[in-house]
Structure 1
Amino acid sequence: MEPPRIEAGGPQFDFLLQEPLSRARGGDSLQKQLLHRIRAAVLDGRLPAGSRLPGSRALAESVGVSRNTVTLVYEVLSTEGYIEPSRQGTRVAALARPEPADRTRPTPAVPARRTGRIRRSGPGGEASFAFAPGLPALAQFPLAAWRRSLDGVFRQGGTELLGYGPPQGEPALRTAVLRHLALARGMRCTAEQIVITEGAQEALALCVRLVTDPGDTAWVEDPGYRGAQTALACGDLTVVPVPVDQEGLRTSASDWADRPPRLVCTSPAHQYPTGAVLTASRRLDLIEKCRRHGAWIVEDDYDSEFRHSGEPLACMQGMTPGAPVFYVGTFSKTLFPSLRIGFLVLPEPLVDRAGPVAGELLRGGHRHEQLALAHFMESGQYSRHLARMRRLYRRRRDALRAALAEHFDVPHTVTGGDSGMHLTVRLPPNVPDQRLAAAARRHRIAPRSLSQHSLVPDSGHNGLVLGYGNTPESAFAPNLRRLAGLVRELD
């Protein structure tokens, strides 16, 4: 049976004529409007498959546009496969139509199993909130010196730097990082081991991709850094929480016997969020056990530049030759978070195999920023900025401890503080720390709840992580009094 021809001006064109095409200045063109209307009519069935469309002249007269406009619309619809032109006329193509959504069927919560294991940290955007952890003193950053470094790179590099760069990072920055690590962290490595990444999170994800397969076992500190938990979950690994005490990550013989890891994530110099330091004996034992079991260590050295007492602690990576350690560093804490530059030091035994693979997984970008950072470091600006920030953060740490003792009249204990930019305040079990943190946000106070960093339900970790890096001392007392009042309101 011959499908009905759609006559110009007939009832089949109601969907076109009910509302005239708009000719308002700044709106969509007549061609785009007509295209969208016909495409929508085909998709929702108002123009059924096999229906013959009118010629371009008839349609143009019907809707009040030029014939060229209709011709171009038909060409686009034909290219997209909505209509089929022929000598016998233009017809609507037969399209595969999905069944209408069944509202009674449950919709999968997430598109993949691994993403269902990612826990949301919070809304973010807390740069102006008090006590937000992980933020350096943004107002103290030497913008003028940074701008000079950027300007110099733009003058010298020009448009050449707009293309892709070396996948493992700009050689100048890798060399600058190498020199800094050798002096400040006692690092044993070569420039070939260094990979520049888009922040520490990409470095963590790269470690997972280089040495694990889905289903492998990975250990994380508990409580621990949420970013490491996310990187492991996205690798579809079996994540095993390992407790942390005053000496850092605490493993047992049964852990190694019952659930040996392929990857161990730890922050030995300043455990996040408790502030514990992994002792030398535990570091060496972990290195030896990982060698014996064919496992790898990710050393997250996120803020050890800010050591407040004694000399900076040496890194695990440099303790023994050929240690099975991936070293992860970031400039988000030492400079500013939106820079989005971190780095990964590959274990020496993996350089020949993992280096080329890392180059295939990454794309060299942020070239101007990388070269500006290299100049910033080589000119001495970086080390001078670090020295200023160490003095500032030491003073803020002392002021926050004093303010807690005077203004936070809730039973608590304070841990950490030998390094970094945060203190951990442990609270009694009856204080709901996650509800407290949520209530504090409404007052522009953004501590993290301690319990949200634990993978173990009812682990007993209860409290607040108070960042002081980007919070001035004058804000400590009023915000601590507000937090104490919120605790009483939650009783």
Structure 2
Amino acid sequence: MNESELHTLLLAPLATHQDLTLQQQLFQRIKQAILAGTLSAGTRLPATRQLATDLQVSRNTVTAVWAQLQAEGFLISDRQGSYISPIAQLPLPLGAETSNGDVVLSPRVNALRSSHRVFGQEMALRPGVPSLAHFPLAQWRRALNRVMQNSPQQLLGYGDPLGEYSLREALAQHLAMARGVRCSPEQIVITEGAQQALTLCVSLLSQRGDIGWVEEPGYRGAKAAMQLGDMQIEPIPVDEQGLAPQSCDWQRCPPRLIYTTPTHQYPTGVVMSAPRRLALLAAAQQHQTWIIEDDYDSDFRYSGEPIAAMQGMLQPSPVIYVGSFSKTLFPALRIGFMVLPSQLLPLLRPALHELLRGGNRPEQQALALFIRNGDFSRHLSKMRRLYRQRQACLREALQQTFGAHVSLLGGECGMHLVLSLPDRQQDGKLIDRLNACGYAPGALSGFYLGEEKQQGLVLGYGNTSTSQIMVGVAHIAQYLSM
């Protein structure tokens, strides 16, 4: 840059009515010129007194800019003056076009890409979202206020890496009564949602190349956790009794980890039978395999008594029991948990202490209080009644629209139904159309890993009113007839 160009750059007027001060404007001007290569290394800048006079600003303004540039390493000053520091030529930003037009990414990125999923807004018929309008905010606010009134300063620091003991204690009591889980508070690890629990299970209990079994069709989050751990994923079919491994599967691809949702299979809704559970437990012990039991939606069962967790059927158990409060309370809470087998706890505790920091302490203690004072149980009871009504509305609307023999999966538990579609009907294209008018069901085909995929819609009714259900079913019928 010659002297004329330098003069033009530095003496361009500074705006007096901007959000940035004069000092900030001058600093950004010079810094960006250096980063862009306009001001090259070795360029001598004018004296602060002269530049201040030319710009009609105080000398302190220019001196402060020079000092900041020098502190950040952009400027070198000595008795002879101030010069631009030698600086490397910056490459193109990550993601910009390169010479071959490619951006190098981990192979995991492509494996983790999902289709037909819309995030960032709450849309009707989305599976896995509870009724946010019916959450008891007043009771929750009261629990948070009580926690913060008692010991606010103590809760601002790091807590137990495994989570607040008061929550683990309350949770152990609740799981024993409601789910038949047998554990002590020490076996519970509080996580940031169930997904973090799955990721921890994979990272702590498997090595690269180990085999992980998942349900086919099954939860995408479990597959994502295994893909991030570089595991070899084997889809195991699900039948009317749940996960259905054959004896040859144990010989052909013995797993290190098995992910299953035995109480309410996601997305088909089937329940794993007692004989199937016992056989899976026995085989897991024989092959030194760990079972990850995700107790998905088990709190919302609408017929008969609740089905107890598989974890409590055998002690000591090869089961890591995983759950969260995203469906029972609200997703933004981001509190999940895992119950470690007693034999694993002393082995994993040192690693967990390195990996975890204890989470949001006030919210964990508020949740413990929320459980102990009965607000949690009362909320679950209220939601069971609401979801039962909404499911009946959805079922009736589907039957009236498509006929009494419409093919539906699930319904005994949870917050969704699956509408099976003919193979010729591509559920992905149907969902794109539904997204455009404010509905976000899941594509059943997206829950499969293999080539054979059943077409269908996973219709969530948890956060969808009866009026939205009726209109949504009408949209589905309209697009299916096109």
- State TM-score, norm by structure 2: 0.94
The answer to whether the aligner puts 1:92 opposite 2:84 as a matched pair is yes
Deviations 1:90-143 (A, max 9, x none): 222222214567743132263x2323321235222443x322111222222222
2:270 maps to 276
Contact (CA 8 Å) 1:109, 1:116: kept in 2 or not?
A: no
Q: CA deviation at 1:287?
A: 2.0
Counterpart among 55, 58, 68 of residue 66 in structure 1: 58
2:236 maps to 242
Deviations 1:183-209 (A, max 9, x none): 111111111100111111111111112
Counterpart among 28, 32, 37 of residue 45 in structure 1: 37
Q: How does 1:311-326 map to 2 (within 5 A)?
A: 311-326=305-320
Equivalent AA in structure 2 for residue 93 of structure 1: S
Q: Distance between the aligned counterparts of 1:134 and 1:258, measured in 2? A: 34
2:453 maps to 460
2:103 maps to 108
Deviations 1:244-277 (A, max 9, x none): 1111112123322222221111111001000111
The answer to whether the aligner puts 1:426 opposite 2:403 as a matched pair is no
Deviations 1:342-367 (A, max 9, x none): 11111211111112322221112322
1:117 maps to 111
Q: Distance between the aligned counterparts of 1:94 and 1:198, measured in 2? A: 45
Contact (CA 8 Å) 2:399, 2:406: kept in 1 or not?
A: no
Contact (CA 8 Å) 1:411, 1:428: kept in 2 or not?
A: no
Q: CA deviation at 1:54?
A: 2.0
Counterpart among 391, 403, 414 of residue 408 in structure 2: 414
Counterpart among 22, 26, 37 of residue 15 in structure 2: 22
Equivalent AA in structure 2 for residue 75 of structure 1: A
Q: Distance between the aligned counterparts of 1:78 and 1:403, measured in 2? A: 70
Equivalent AA in structure 1 for residue 54 of structure 2: S
Contact (CA 8 Å) 2:235, 2:449: kept in 1 or not?
A: yes
2:210 maps to 216
Q: SS of the residue aligned with 1:466?
A: strand
Contact (CA 8 Å) 1:56, 1:70: kept in 2 or not?
A: yes
Equivalent AA in structure 2 for residue 470 of structure 1: N
Q: SS of the residue aligned with 1:75?
A: helix
269-278 or 216-225, which deviates more: 216-225
2:151 maps to 157
Q: Distance between the aligned counterparts of 2:97 and 2:177, measured in 1? A: 63
Counterpart among 463, 466, 471 of residue 473 in structure 1: 466
Equivalent AA in structure 2 for residue 201 of structure 1: Q
How many residues in Structure 1 have an aligned counterpart in Structure 2? 478
1:399 maps to 393
Q: Distance between the aligned counterparts of 2:317 and 2:145, measured in 1? A: 40
Contact (CA 8 Å) 2:179, 2:308: kept in 1 or not?
A: yes
Q: Distance between the aligned counterparts of 1:54 and 1:71, measured in 2? A: 11
Contact (CA 8 Å) 1:412, 1:427: kept in 2 or not?
A: no
The answer to whether the aligner puts 1:484 opposite 2:466 as a matched pair is no
> CA 1:78 to 1:287, structure 2 compared with 1: closer, same or farther past 3 Å?
same
> CA 1:410 to 1:108, structure 2 compared with 1: closer, same or farther past 3 Å?
farther
Q: SS of the residue aligned with 1:176?
A: helix
State the superposition RMSD in angstroms: 2.0
The answer to whether the aligner puts 1:132 opposite 2:123 as a matched pair is no
Contact (CA 8 Å) 2:407, 2:420: kept in 1 or not?
A: yes
Contact (CA 8 Å) 1:303, 1:333: kept in 2 or not?
A: yes
Equivalent AA in structure 2 for residue 95 of structure 1: I
Contact (CA 8 Å) 2:118, 2:440: kept in 1 or not?
A: no
Equivalent AA in structure 1 for residue 479 of structure 2: L
Equivalent AA in structure 2 for residue 250 of structure 1: A
1:54 maps to 46
Q: Distance between the aligned counterparts of 1:470 and 1:102, measured in 2? A: 42
Q: SS of the residue aligned with 1:224?
A: coil
> CA 1:473 to 1:42, structure 2 compared with 1: closer, same or farther past 3 Å?
closer
Deviations 1:166-224 (A, max 9, x none): 22111111111000011111111111100111111111111112112233221111211
Percentage of matched positions with identical amino acids: 48
Contact (CA 8 Å) 2:267, 2:458: kept in 1 or not?
A: yes
Equivalent AA in structure 2 for residue 265 of structure 1: Y
Q: CA deviation at 1:307?
A: 1.4
Q: Distance between the aligned counterparts of 1:42 and 1:396, measured in 2? A: 62
> CA 1:174 to 1:213, structure 2 compared with 1: closer, same or farther past 3 Å?
same
Deviations 1:267-304 (A, max 9, x none): 11001000111222222222222222222111111210
Equivalent AA in structure 2 for residue 456 of structure 1: G
Equivalent AA in structure 2 for residue 163 of structure 1: G
The answer to whether the aligner puts 1:35 opposite 2:27 as a matched pair is yes
Structure 1 segments of 4 or more deviating over 6 A? none
Q: SS of the residue aligned with 2:153?
A: helix
1:174 maps to 168
Q: CA deviation at 1:231?
A: 1.6
Q: Distance between the aligned counterparts of 1:470 and 1:45, measured in 2? A: 54
Q: SS of the residue aligned with 1:395?
A: helix
Deviations 1:229-255 (A, max 9, x none): 222222222222222111111212332
Counterpart among 221, 224, 237 of residue 230 in structure 1: 224
The answer to whether the aligner puts 1:75 opposite 2:67 as a matched pair is yes
Equivalent AA in structure 2 for residue 235 of structure 1: G
Equivalent AA in structure 1 for residue 466 of structure 2: E
Equivalent AA in structure 2 for residue 248 of structure 1: G
Q: Distance between the aligned counterparts of 1:466 and 1:339, measured in 2? A: 23
Contact (CA 8 Å) 2:265, 2:296: kept in 1 or not?
A: no
Q: SS of the residue aligned with 2:20?
A: coil
Q: CA deviation at 1:467?
A: 1.1
Equivalent AA in structure 2 for residue 123 of structure 1: V
The answer to whether the aligner puts 1:263 opposite 2:257 as a matched pair is yes
1:374 maps to 368
The answer to whether the aligner puts 1:306 opposite 2:300 as a matched pair is yes
Equivalent AA in structure 1 for residue 251 of structure 2: A
Equivalent AA in structure 1 for residue 58 of structure 2: S
Q: Distance between the aligned counterparts of 1:478 and 1:52, measured in 2? A: 70
Q: SS of the residue aligned with 2:296?
A: coil
- State TM-score, norm by structure 1: 0.92
Equivalent AA in structure 2 for residue 268 of structure 1: P
Contact (CA 8 Å) 2:268, 2:409: kept in 1 or not?
A: yes
Q: CA deviation at 1:308?
A: 1.4
Q: CA deviation at 1:410?
A: 10
Q: CA deviation at 1:43?
A: 2.2
Q: SS of the residue aligned with 1:117?
A: helix
Contact (CA 8 Å) 2:257, 2:289: kept in 1 or not?
A: yes
